[in-house]
């Protein structure tokens, strides 16, 4: 947008400069033309008067002397045709067509003393003429050659001065246009970034009170609205976390009562009914645990949501070797994998690799991914590996199980979403959501891809750490 506005202002500035320069240069040309014309007409009138006196006295000596002196001084020819003879100086001759035309018009008592407008890069000379004599009789004609080269030189100098001034003015106008455009559009750009930030993170940084009054008021209104939205989101998230935490006490008390009740039950139907209640209670406990973990993960994802906070958070993360953490999670998942008939393989990297991440949260993410692979792909071969990527490092957990379709992979990070084919497997649909939020909190991205010929690959992509290992 800034480029488009600046382009329009630049065109307007150029038009202003060109218009002003054209007016100044046209006026300068007209001024020099008038100045030259007045000067030469005065000289022509003087020679006409001298010629008239010479015609009366029949003595052209004074006339010839004055004409020669003028031609020598200005380099312009003069031709005076009397009734008895023709007097000339310089290179002016009646052999030239324009001189003959001027003499013919003057013989008809038609004076021609108008010069064409001077152009800076023209060439050639012009002639002006007039007759002299009495009121009733033309005694002769005087023709004066006009060489406007000196005036052209002056006009070229003025063109140069005006051109330099136009360039300076144009540069000044463009600079002013750039400053004004930046002053007006900078708050709009900040507002656009703030809207995107609010949309993606639920938070936004405070907009500076800058720019035109209307945009300052808009920035203040948006900041107030964004604060309200952020407070509402935080309140909802806190409500979910508090509710989940508070429900754990009554659920724990309910479990204790059911355990005591089971001790008093004698018949098998009663025990079966109690077992069903316990199973549902365990499901509720799993959901509460998942909601608490999700609330913590979302809080981590949002607490460093602004650009400045993201940079500070990234610096705060420890630069660690992920292999020992992956090794610990694989060992922890081994018993469950053996019960499900799965085999877990941990790929040893060729050289130590490092990434910027919270160690506990990396362990949590890898543990969730291993749990999902064991639960939803029983009997499969599960591989855990770290790979160097162009932008950093990736931690992969892949299996050769049934996998998920492209649409299911897209929806898998939605809260409480579960694939239809997994409806009979216990779970709360929060595991992948928690991993996705924790990845965001660690400046990483969770990518789910299909594996050939079948299976699923969950990859945590971390950007390259900027620094050495941080203990």
Please give the Cα distance from 278 to 276 (Å, whole number).
5
Please give the Cα distance from 212 to 321 (Å, whole number).
51
Over range 397-416, report the average pLDDT. 90
Residue-wise pLDDT tens digits, 46-84:
999 999 988 888 888 999 999 999 999 989 999 999 888
Residue 301 is predicted with a pLDDT of: 66
Residue 274 is predicted with a pLDDT of: 81
For 381, counting Cβ atoms within 10 Å of its Cβ (0-12 exposed, 13-18 middle, 19+ buried), the class is middle
Q: Which of 16-25, 293-302, 323-332 has the lowest mean pLDDT?
A: 293-302
For 421, counting Cβ atoms within 10 Å of its Cβ (0-12 exposed, 13-18 middle, 19+ buried), the class is exposed
Cα distances (angstroms) measured from residue 102 to each of 96, 117, 193: 10, 19, 77
Residue 244 is predicted with a pLDDT of: 66
SS3 (DSSP) at 446 = strand
Upper half-sphere CA count for residue 355 (Cβ side, 13 Å): 27
434, 294 contact by CB (below 8 A): yes
Radius of gyration of the chain from its Cα atoms, rounded to whole angstroms: 49
User: Token pair for residue 57?
Assistant: 């006295």
C-alpha triplet 199, 462, 453: angle, nearest 5°: 100
What percent of the chain has a predicted confidence (pLDDT) above 70?
Answer: 92
C-alpha triplet 391, 393, 397: angle, nearest 5°: 130
User: Token pair for residue 428?
Assistant: 């709360």
C-alpha triplet 225, 228, 232: angle, nearest 5°: 140
Q: Please provide the CATH number assigned to the domain covering 213-303.
A: 1.10.287.130
Domain with residues 310-463, CATH architecture = 2-Layer Sandwich (3.30)
> Which of the four pLDDT bands, split at 50, 70 and 90, describes residue 353?
confident
Helix (H) or strand (E) holding 467, with range, is none
User: Token pair for residue 132?
Assistant: 């002299």
Q: Is the pLDDT of residue 314 over 60?
A: no
Identify the CA nearest to 129 among candidates 162, 155, 96, 157.
96
Please give the Cα distance from 207 to 204 (Å, whole number).
8
Domain ranges of the chain: 2-154, 213-303, 310-463
Q: Across the strands, what pairs with 449?
A: 457
Residue-wise pLDDT tens digits, 114-130:
999 988 888 889 999 99
Please give the Cα distance from 161 to 120 (Å, whole number).
13
Cα distances (angstroms) measured from residue 137 to each of 83, 131, 133, 141, 388: 11, 10, 6, 12, 110
**Residues in contact with 436: Cβ distance below 8 Å, sequence separation at least 6, in sequence order:** 413, 446
User: Token pair for residue 385?
Assistant: 């590996």
**DSSP-derived pairing of the beta strands 355-356 and 381-388:** unpaired
What percent of the chain has a predicted confidence (pLDDT) above 90?
Answer: 29
Q: Which fold has domain 2-154?
A: Beta-Lactamase (3.30.450)
Q: Give the distance from CA 318 to its chain's centroid.
A: 34
Is pTM beyond 0.75? Reply is no
SS3 (DSSP) at 449 = strand
């Amino acid at each position: 947008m800034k480029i488009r506005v600046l382009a329009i202002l630049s065109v307007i500035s150029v038009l202003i400069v060109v218009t002003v320069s054209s007016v100044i240069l046209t006026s300068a040309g007209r001024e020099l033309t008038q100045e030259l014309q007045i000067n030469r007409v005065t000289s022509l009138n003087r020679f006409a008067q001298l010629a008239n006196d010479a015609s009366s006295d029949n003595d052209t000596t004074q006339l010839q002397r004055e004409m020669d002196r003028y031609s020598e001084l200005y380099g312009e020819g003069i031709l005076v045709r009397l009734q008895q003879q023709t007097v000339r100086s310089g290179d002016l001759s009646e052999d030239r067509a324009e001189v003959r035309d001027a003499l013919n018009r003057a013989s008809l008592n038609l004076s021609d003393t108008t010069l064409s407008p001077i152009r800076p890069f023209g060439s050639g000379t012009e002639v002006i003429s007039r007759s002299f004599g009495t009121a009733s009789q033309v005694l002769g004609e005087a023709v004066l050659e006009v060489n406007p080269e000196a005036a052209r030189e002056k006009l070229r100098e003025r063109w140069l001065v005006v051109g330099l001034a136009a360039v300076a003015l144009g540069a000044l106008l463009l600079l002013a246009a750039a400053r004004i455009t930046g002053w007006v559009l900078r708050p709009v750009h900040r507002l656009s970034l703030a809207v995107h930030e609010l949309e993606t993170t639920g938070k936004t940084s405070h907009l500076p009170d800058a720019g035109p009054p209307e945009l300052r008021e808009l920035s203040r209104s948006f900041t107030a609205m964004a604060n309200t939205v952020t407070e509402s989101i935080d309140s909802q998230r806190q409500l979910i976390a508090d509710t989940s935490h508070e429900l754990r006490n009554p659920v724990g008390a309910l479990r204790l009562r059911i355990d005591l009740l089971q001790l008093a039950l004698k018949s098998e139907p009663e025990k079966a009914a109690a077992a069903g209640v316990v199973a549902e209670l365990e499901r509720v406990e799993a959901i509460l645990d998942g909601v608490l973990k999700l609330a913590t993960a979302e809080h981590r994802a949002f607490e460093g949501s602004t650009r400045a906070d993201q940079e500070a958070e990234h610096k705060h993360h420890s630069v660690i070797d992920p292999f020992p953490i992956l090794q610990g999670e694989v060992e922890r998942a081994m018993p469950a994998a053996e019960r499900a008939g799965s085999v877990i393989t941990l790929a040893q990297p060729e050289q130590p690799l490092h990434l910027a991440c919270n160690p506990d949260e990396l362990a949590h993410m890898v543990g969730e991914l291993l749990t999902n692979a064991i639960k939803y792909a029983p009997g499969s071969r599960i591989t855990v590996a770290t790979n160097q990527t162009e932008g950093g490092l990736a931690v992969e957990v892949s299996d050769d199980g049934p996998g998920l379709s492209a649409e299911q992979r897209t929806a898998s990070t939605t809260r409480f979403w579960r694939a239809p084919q997994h409806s009979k497997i216990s779970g709360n649909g929060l595991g992948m959501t928690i991993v996705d939020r924790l990845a965001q909190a660690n400046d990483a991205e969770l990518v789910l891809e299909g594996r050939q010929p079948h299976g699923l690959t969950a990859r945590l992509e971390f950007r390259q750490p900027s620094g050495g290992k941080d203990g």
